[in-house]
Amino acid sequence: MAALPFSTTCRHSSSPLHHNSKSSFIGFSQRNNIWQLFVITKSISRKSIRKLSVKNVASDEKQELKDPLAKRDTFYEFIPDSASIASSIKFHAEFTTPFSPEKFELNKAFFATAESVRDSLIINWNATNDYYERKNVKLAYYMSMEYLQGRALLNAIGNLQLLGPYAEALTKLGHNLEDVANKEPDAALGNGGLGRLASCFLDSLATLNYPAWGYGLRYKYGLFKQHITRDGQVEVAENWLEMGNPWEILRNDVTYPVKFYGEVIPGPNGSKQWVGGENILAVAYDVPIPGYKTRTTINLRLWSTKVSQEEFDLQAFNSGDHAKAYAFLKNAEKICYVLYPGDESIEGKTLRLKQQYTLCSASLQDLIARFEKRSGKRVNWDTLPDKVVVQMNDTHPTLCIPELIRILMDVKGLSWEKAWNITKRTVAYTNHTILPEALEKWSLTLLQDLLPRHVEIIRMIDEELIHEIISEYGIDDLDLFQQRHKKMRILENIELPSSVMELLSTEETSTVDPVKVIDVEGNDVMATEKEEKKDENDDEEEVGEEGKEEEYDENLSIEEDTGNKVEVRFKVDPKLPMMVRMANLCVAGGFSVNGVAAIHSKIVKDEVFNEFYELWPEKFQNKTNGVTPRRWIRFCNPDLSKIITKWIGTEDWVTDLEKLAILRKFADNEDLQLEWIEAKRRNKIKVASFLKDKTGYVVNPSAMFDVQVKRIHEYKRQLLNIMGIVYRYKRMKELSAEERKEMFVPRVCIFGGKAFATYVQAKRIVKFITDVGATINRDPEIGDLLKVVFVPDYNVSVAEMLIPGSELSQHISTAGMEASGTSNMKFSMNGCILIGTLDGANVEIREEVGEDNFFLFGARAEDIAELRKERAEGKFVPDPRFEEVKAYVRSGVFGPYNYDELMGSLEGNEGYGRADYFLVGKDFPSYLECQEEVDKAYRDQKRWTKMSILNTAGSYKFSSDRTIHEYARDIWRIEPIDLA
């Protein structure tokens, strides 16, 4: 194809696009089926040519690859200046952005700038993937339902070391870089810590040059956009894709079939074929993830869903039945509409399960196609675990296990034994929670209907697991077998496999034996024993001998077997649902299980999966979470970053966070403290301006900024925080103006976070916080002494604004219930002091920053069970101040809303939604006393600033770089590959 000449000269000469910088667009050419785009500017020599080659990695066509490391005289060595960047932005503004050519407003400037940056990323992206393919390296594939990416522009420019040139280029074009960057919407691909952790991991993987990919779903609307009204939280669809996404590249040639429903047909030699049902297509969208100061740029592949156009019923459409015409299309598309659709209905549950399977199936088909392509004509499936490792981020991708087995058996023709062995060496599992409701269970009936072949495979895995338990421990002690079986089985309230039943049947010499009933999750396993034994009480409550004897007698039956063979029967309780326990499937099918903080991993081993840990101790390990220091301090807090670099003497800390420890020796230095205070003051002014813009509330930057921003959940105890504020307000109202100022440090209490749409109690908490704020903020007697602000629609960009300006951060979950937390790390890294319980990563943060630099309160994790038991027995006596606060709330001082149900959840000794399960009342007095210590410390600004410096200095352990090094070394067994 001949080059077609074009000029970037525009008809609208007054447009700011057309700065004096000269540039010309030479044209496109096609060579070896790879498109090349050439942009020449006066600052680039003709040897410095930009090559954009976007390849289909699933293609069978083998392209001849050149070693990118050998290209010493090409664009890879070229560092663009502001003039060449301005020319690139001008080109994209005229030729590629989805905006009209007449104006160069902020939205258009953002798109043009982003596409200019993407050009540079694509060069490194292609070089990275080409090199991995040519070297046939082992890749880690990170599977996650969430990626809370945040805005990408400043992060990408920062990682490319081009912040200065881009700022200068945009100034030449009439715009400010910060204003342009603020036009980017947050990608709505995640909810909270799970998704943000996944995004931090991708940043660290790229920065540390580890070969890896991320897989996720491309949600059209994400979770939801949160509005705060007089009625509390209101959810509306998030419109992050309304103007398009300049960072993604649609791969129309990378699609995979995904099936639901249908039936399983037996084939020859024991093979199975899954046929019929509903068929959709998963389509790939790729997003480049750049590393910091490295050419390595890895890939995040997101799946969208559709059906072929043949499914559009043109005849129905023309006859007026439009809904029928679009039915198949919309049914496929809705899979990727919303993150975590409500699952109260069977339709909602089905949609969630479809989402999870789509992620697993499309991703596994893709990585297997990549493995086969790199393997050449002869594929040795035994080497798959040597080239591929799949990390499941929580239980959402659990179906990776049966899906990989299905592909290996039904598509590739491997035996069950071989497929199962390969899978067990390929898949790893990260546990993120000990909450029972978050350890996913799925209805067997729903799974059987939606994924019939996978249920067959899950049954086989369950059978293998039971046999391994029997092989390890035997069945001489049926009580012990019952206990392990109850905790470890993947299938719940489902009959034992026939092969296990045969093992449990034993030859006896007597013809008449008593039968003992063993309760297993509501099932009756009946087995004869030679001697009568008394039943053990499952709830570990003390029962008298007489009661035990009566219970045993009720369960006895006599059976006669003339063949001297004991009959063992397993009864399913029809009143209880048949379920599949996904976490148990993850542990059984994966080669590694890790928790995400030291205390969490201990609970995982000692409590949640204790029986599995005893069986396979080598599988279990800890990987304390971390956050990327690039986004969470270097880019979001430039003022503090400059100070750190100055006092440490190098900027190497951005990729080697251990260097932050050097700050410890300067913590008492007055010059450093003055600079530190000034940086915090500037950040607080920005926060105050942001709060006024978002909420209308005016706050005093001289007050302490006290922040709790995270997903709204009862265990995270935003309720404890706001009740503490209510107590503070009540005490203020009881004092004179002079006494108030003497007793209380001025505070701005900031909340943020989303309550899940169907989580009624969490939404009540949001409503309560906003009502308290509305009352306090309008009270002229209190003035600037206390403000309460709820920031709507909390996301990554809001966090990047709030965290640098925060001084006290609340991480006050009930001990033992937060797996790790990552926002606690971000706050500490930015010199914010934490108040919290010994929960999650708080434990390790306190160890690293020093006990004197952390405000600790509350019950310990090991005491929680006993405290709940005490409550159930009616022995708990609430603190009088706690009762005062509840009565004050019920008095109506915060408006007409009826808070009886919210306050009632903190009362009583037992019952769902009552009995203060999260121990707000128990920890309340300790919390108030700790807050008094906070006020005391804040009055001494020299002491407070030293504590702040030591928090930053002690946060080095909590870099995601450290976490990724540990994953790579201990789980994935991958090595860094440096392209630089």
List active site positions: 432, 710-711, 716, 822, 826
Cβ within 8 Å of residue 446, ≥6 positions away: 346, 349, 350, 353
The DSSP element (H or E) to which 40 belongs, if any, is: strand 34-41
Alpha-carbon dihedral angle through residues 617, 620, 624, 626, given to the nearest 10 degrees: 160
Give the amino acid at 235. E
3-state secondary structure 237-277: CCCCCCCCCCCCEEEEEEEEEEEECCEEEECHHHCEEEECC
Largest CA distance in the chain: 105
Round to whole Å and give the CA distance between 841 and 822.
8
Measured in degrees and rounded to the nearest 5, phi and psi for residue 339 equal -75, 130
Helix (H, G, I), strand (E, B) or coil at 47: coil
Count of Cβ atoms closer than 10 Å to residue 665 Cβ: 10
Under DSSP, the state recorded for 507 is B
Cα gap 325→233, rounded to integer Å? 36
CA distances from 124 to 39, 75, 165 (A): 17, 10, 19
Q: Measure the CA–CA gap between 133 and 136, rounded to whole angstroms.
A: 5
Position 205, amino acid: L
Q: 364 with 407: CB under 8 angstroms?
A: yes
Give the side-chain half-sphere CA count within 13 A for 708: 22
Distance CA 236, CA 226 (A): 7
d(CA 899, CA 698): 28
Per DSSP bridges, beta strands 34-41 and 23-31 are antiparallel
Q: Which helix (H) or strand (E) holds 89?
A: helix 82-95
User: Are the beta carbons of 215 and 206 closer than 8 angstroms?
Assistant: no
Helix (H) or strand (E) holding 214: strand 212-217
- Going by their DSSP bridges, the two strands 491-492 and 427-430 should be labelled as unpaired
Nearest to 787 by CA among 699, 689, 862: 699
Beta bridge partners of 212: 140
Q: What is the SS3 string spanning 552-587?
A: HHHHCEEEECCCCECCCEEECCCCCCCEEEHHHHHH
| 387 CB-near residues (< 8 Å, 6+ apart) | 136, 137, 138, 139, 371, 374
Q: Quickly list DSSP for 684-730.
A: HHHHHHHHHHHH-----TTSEEEEEES---GGGTHHHHHHHHHHHHH
The residue type at 434: I
Task: Answer for the pair 864, 816: CB distance below 8 angstroms, yes or no.
Answer: yes
Q: Which residues are registered as beta bridge partners of 29?
A: 36
Interatomic CA distance for residues 450 and 436, integer angstroms: 24
121's tokens: 């990323």
Q: Are 918 and 721 in contact (CB under 8 A)?
A: no
